[in-house]
């Protein structure tokens, strides 16, 4: 399974990167191959200063080794080794009318002292972070998420949509990071679903990422905007940074397992602002977004 999924994410990285270069029209991805001293490595691809994307990254990695003490405690085991691979992407458009998007699809195996697999699971999802609310964009994004879930199991969309709203929640701000999407983790083989069925579901979700995001991006990337609207985008990007550094499990896992810092922090936007006790104007478009951020909505 690990070989099949790693081969898949290598091909997916090529597909997504090519589509994003086409959407930008100017910038191309810079590729950075790296190795992890403890075992494994990855292929980081970053795009900066484009016509559409201020910054974007589409990274893959496959790493292995002995689980560090912090992760042993988290997984409630005394001693183990692991293999983890996945694709992670974050795209920060230049235009504040276009939303930031994040997606991740990953696979994990854990082994005992004899090298036998004792646990294995898939995880991942995708989520949208707008700076200005266009309801039809959120509806489109969630409809694609629902469609692909329904093709696999009608129970999936409501469950993984709810988990996404719960996970991408800045508890210290009491607000969501964006308008959600899907989030799933610890998808393990069971009497109900085989590992192959989980593989099919996760790859189906990943294969529909471009259909979920590119139509939204293409509708918003050339809209006019003011310096004040750019300022609001950068203030909201600050909240994005806060979530990634304080709450995100992927970031914390990377830091605790001696991950490659440049790849881990690739998700952070290039320009951000923090203002003391900032509040948007009453009845403004900025306040309209905040009402949705404070209380997750059912979009479809």
Q: How far is it, in rounded angstroms, from Cα 7 to Cα 69?
A: 30
Q: Residues 92, 102, 140, 142: which is the catalytic one? A: 102
| 130 backbone φψ class: left, alpha, beta (φ>0; ψ -120 to 50) | beta
List, in sequence order, every beta strand (DSSP E) within the chain.
30-35, 40-48, 53-66, 81-93, 100-111, 117-129, 169-170, 175-176, 180-187
Tokens of 143: 């409809």
Side-chain-side CA neighbours of 42 within 13 Å: the count stands at: 28
- CB atoms near residue 174 (< 10 Å): 9
Q: Where are the alpha helices (DSSP H) in 65-208?
A: 69-75, 135-152, 156-167, 195-207
Q: Rounded CA gap, 29 and 267, in Å?
A: 15
Active-site annotation holds for 275? no
What is residue 194's three-state secondary structure?
coil
Q: Which residues contact 265 (CB under 8 A, 6 or more apart)?
A: 251
Q: Which two tokens stand for residue 194?
A: 């085989």
Structure tokens at 33: 């191959």
Catalytic residues: 102
């Amino acid at each position: 399974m690990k070989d099949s999924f790693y081969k898949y994410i290598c091909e997916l990285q090529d597909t997504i990167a090519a589509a994003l270069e086409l959407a930008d029209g100017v910038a191309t991805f810079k590729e950075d191959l790296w190795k992890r001293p403890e075992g494994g490595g990855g292929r980081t691809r970053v795009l900066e200063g484009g016509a559409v994307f201020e910054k974007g990254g589409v990274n893959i990695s496959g790493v292995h080794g002995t689980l560090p003490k912090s992760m042993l405690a988290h997984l409630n085991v005394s001693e183990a080794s692991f293999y983890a691979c996945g694709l992670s992407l974050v795209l920060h458009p230049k235009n504040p009318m276009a939303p930031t998007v994040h997606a991740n699809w990953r696979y994990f195996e854990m082994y005992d002292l004899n090298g036998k697999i004792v646990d294995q699971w898939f995880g991942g999802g995708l989520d949208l972070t707008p700076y200005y609310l266009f309801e039809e964009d959120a509806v489109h994004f969630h409809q694609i998420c629902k469609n692909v879930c329904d093709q696999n199991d009608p129970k999936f969309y409501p469950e993984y949509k709810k988990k996404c709203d719960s996970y991408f929640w800045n508890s210290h701000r009491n607000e969501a990071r964006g308008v959600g999407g899907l989030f799933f983790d610890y998808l393990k083989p069971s009497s109900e679903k085989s590992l192959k069925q989980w593989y099919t579901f996760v790859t189906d979700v990943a294969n529909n990422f471009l259909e979920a995001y590119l139509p939204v991006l293409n509708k918003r990337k050339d809209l006019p905007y003011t310096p004040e609207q750019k300022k609001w985008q950068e203030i909201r990007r600050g909240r994005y940074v806060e979530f990634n550094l304080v709450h995100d499990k992927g970031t914390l896992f990377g830091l605790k397992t001696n991950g490659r810092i440049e790849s881990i922090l690739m998700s952070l936007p290039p320009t951000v602002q923090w203002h003391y006790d900032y509040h948007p104007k009453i009845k403004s478009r900025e306040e309209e977004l905040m009402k949705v951020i404070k209380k997750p909505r059912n979009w479809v």
